[in-house]
Structure 1
Amino acid sequence: MKPKTCEPAPSDSLTVLFDGACPLCRREIALYRGQAEGQPVCFADVSDPAQVLPAGRTQAELLARFHVQLPDGRLLSGAEAFLALWARLPGWRWLAWLGRLPGVARLMEWAYLGFLRVRPAVQRGFRRWKPD
């Protein structure tokens, strides 16, 4: 199987690394894709074994949290990753601005960590409610 890359990706492109095996994640990414048209944003499904991963990162690590890779190669996760993505999307820039206010990103990260604890149960419920 040929390895997948996020192509074509402009040099200033932000790469969103997401769990395509998660129905909840796919739905959220579909919302972002709808806003990303014409924006320098690339989407990479890290649940796909053929997907090329950032150097030094494992699939399990990338599936455990939401990540984005900046054009310079740095990897952000959690609240910081969401803020970086939202800053690129026209309909979400206001939320990125709000998240940059003092203390807000820290609160967002705290909420995200709480969500990660219940994510497996939410995914199971979502699969029952909306089967693939």
Structure 2
Amino acid sequence: MTEILYNGRCPICSAEIAHYRARAAASGADLSFTDLNTAPLDDWGISADQATRRLHARHKGQILSGFQAFLLIWQALPRWRWLAKLVALPGLRHAVGLVYDKLAAPLLYRLHLRREAKRA
């Protein structure tokens, strides 16, 4: 079983995870999805702030985050395996990882902080 830790308060993250969850249910993929806002993060060995900064996955006792977590999801879903194979190629793997780490994840995190500030 691969467990995915995601930010359920992020509308973009929630929409994407809802899609993956539906695909996993339809295909019988061995994935589970946990909202970081209700999960005991001590079990993950990360703080709430670290958890909101990027997607995390627990697979075979190992915690992976960022692009590596997405790869686990895509590898588990039949209609997404082609993408996992493509972006796992040596040159693309590095480039896609950088785009996620330097652009997508920080942008989503800043949006999260704004939403949370409005809630306070």
Give the TM-score taking structure 2 as reference length. 0.82
User: Over the residues paired in the alignment, what is the CA RMSD in angstroms?
Assistant: 2.0
Q: What's the counterpart of residue 32 of structure 1?
A: 20
Asked if 1:23 is matched to 2:3, the reply is no
1:27–1:94 distance in 2 versus 1, CA, 3 Å: same
Q: What's the counterpart of residue 117 of structure 2?
A: none
**Which structure has more helix as a fraction of its residues?**
2
After superposition, the C-alpha distances for 1:19-48 in whole angstroms (9 at most, x for unaligned) are 001111100001101110111100000022
Structure 2 unaligned blocks of 5 or more: 115-120
Q: What's the counterpart of residue 63 of structure 1?
A: 52
Question: Does the CA contact (< 8 Å) of 2:44 and 2:63 recur in 1?
Answer: no
Question: Does the CA contact (< 8 Å) of 1:47 and 1:63 recur in 2?
Answer: no
Q: What's the counterpart of residue 112 of structure 1?
A: 100
1:44 aligned to which of 31, 34, 50: 34
1:26–1:74 distance in 2 versus 1, CA, 3 Å: same
After superposition, the C-alpha distances for 1:1-20 in whole angstroms (9 at most, x for unaligned) are xxxxxxxxxxxx00010000
